[in-house]
Structures are given as C-alpha cells and as structure tokens.
Structure 1
Amino acid sequence: MRILLNVLWLVLCGFWMALGYVVAGVICCILIITIPFGIASFRMANYALWPFGRTVIRRADAGGASAIGNIIWFVFAGLWLAIGHIGTGIALCITIIGIPLGVASFKMVPISLLPLGREIVPLDDHGYVRQAY
C-alpha cells in the first residue's frame, strides 16, 4: 500500500513540492553561509518525493543553534513551502482518493516550517519507528 500511495503522491504533487525544496536548497547553497539550510532543504526534497513509510522525529542533540536557524529558515523559505503544502493538501482533499495524500501534505507542514533539529527516519511494517540495535 505504501508503494501505491508513494507513486500517486509522486505523480500528483511530490515532484513539484520536491522541486520547491531543491530550488530553496540551491539558493541556500549559492550563499556560502547558508549551506546548512541547503543541505536540510535537499534532505526534505527527498522526503517530499517519497513520504509514505517514513516519519520525522526531533533530534535529541538539537540545541540553540537549531532554534536560531529555524527562525531564519521560517522567514526566508519555510513559510512559502508551508503555504505550498497547505494549498496542495486542500487541492488533494477535494477528491476522496486524494484525502490520504492531502493529510500527508498537511503532516509535512511542520517540517517545512522548522526543519533544523529534525530527522527523517523509516517506519517498520506496523507503523513504528525502526530502531537500529
């Protein structure tokens, strides 16, 4: 089921949302001081392409630098990407088949607003975070 949802997501909105993250990442990497934002943006572009079967968790080692970086990200890129996810989610929820995809788009709003200090991790077959032992 995850593969089917991911393929539908990719065709309907994943490619375009990932393209938005890539554009933000390229702009951030052109400016040398914002390269960490560019790396985070490319990581989120990967997540925006294939979101089902993965989730976002808060990193335990995130500190004050992540908070300051998130404020800067919010102003320059996060707000616009979040608006894109909200608009896409509303458009997807118009049809019954698109409702799960719309909900996934809404779930991506928090990471698009505040990406630093977060980590994308895979889920197991039961929907729990996979632990590496």
Structure 2
Amino acid sequence: MIRLILNILWFIMGGWLSGFLWLVGGAILALTVVGLPWSFAAWRIASYSFWPFGREVVWAGEVTGKDVGCFGIGLNVIWFVFAGWYIALSHILIAVAEAITIIGIPFALKDLELAKLAMLPVGATIRVKP
C-alpha cells in the first residue's frame, strides 16, 4: 500500500513529465537509425520514471554474471559524452531539492537511481523487487 501511495505521489509531482520526456527522447533516437541502441534503454528508463517504487535497477553483471562487453561500454561512453552527463545532472539537482525536506527523501533516492541510469543506460534492466 505504501508503494502505491509513493508511486501516485511520484507520478503526480513530476514522474509523468520525466517518463514522457524519456519516451519522446527514445522516439527521437529511434527515428535516427544510429540511435536505436539507446532508444530501447530510454524506453526502459521511461517505464521506471513513471512508476519507480516497488521496482529496482539491475545491472548486467548482477543478472548474468557477465559485463555489457566492449560494445556496451562504447555505447555508454558515447551516451555519457553527448547526453548522459547533463540528464544525470538534472536528476541530481532535483534530488538535492527533494532531499531538503524529510518527506522528499524517498523521492530523492529514486532520482539518484535515475541519475545513475541516465549516465549508463546500456546494460541496465528494471525488475520488480522480490
């Protein structure tokens, strides 16, 4: 019940905007054939941005025991240089503003997870917490 309340508050207070912007960004990336590898990652992040509580980010090494490989690392480096750092910075700034209030701390923690996702989107999956 707490997860539902937190998700509803998150969605109303800006989760819808964050998720929508990730969807639009993924669609723009998909229009450019070169951006297809990142568009799927952006859509995963969008689903997490809409409804983050009760779900967790799992990195490739934690699930399969294998890293993302050279291709994935290259994609993450390119993403970080051209888009990831300033998207992550926006999530960090929002997290700082949320953390000022006690009630905003759970939201700040989710924004910090989104910042990490924004920096390195390739190789991350979202799953329901056990």
Return the TM-score normalized by structure 1: 0.85
Deviations 1:53-94, CA, capped at 9 Å, x for gaps: 111112234211110000111122211221221122122123
In the TM superposition, residue 98 of structure 1 has moved relative to its aligned partner by: 1.3
In the TM superposition, residue 23 of structure 1 has moved relative to its aligned partner by: 2.7
Equivalent residue number for residue 5 of structure 1? 6
Matches within 5 A, 1:45-124: 45-59=46-60, 60=64, 61=66, 62-124=68-130
Is the 8 Å Cα contact of residues 58 and 119 (structure 1) preserved in structure 2? yes
Equivalent residue number for residue 130 of structure 1? none
In the TM superposition, residue 113 of structure 1 has moved relative to its aligned partner by: 0.5
Q: Which runs of 5+ in 1 are unaligned?
A: 125-133
Partners of 1:86 and 1:57 in 2: CA distance: 20
**Larger CA deviation: 5-14 vs 16-25:** 16-25
**What is the total number of aligned residue pairs between the two structures?**
124
Q: Which runs of 5+ in 2 are unaligned?
A: none
RMSD (Å) for aligned C-alpha atoms: 1.4
AA aligned opposite 1:76: F
Check if 1:18 corresponds to 2:19.
yes
User: Aligned with 1:51: secondary structure?
Assistant: coil
Return the TM-score normalized by structure 2: 0.87
In the TM superposition, residue 38 of structure 1 has moved relative to its aligned partner by: 0.8
Is the 8 Å Cα contact of residues 82 and 112 (structure 1) preserved in structure 2? yes
Matches within 5 A, 1:32-43: 32-43=33-44
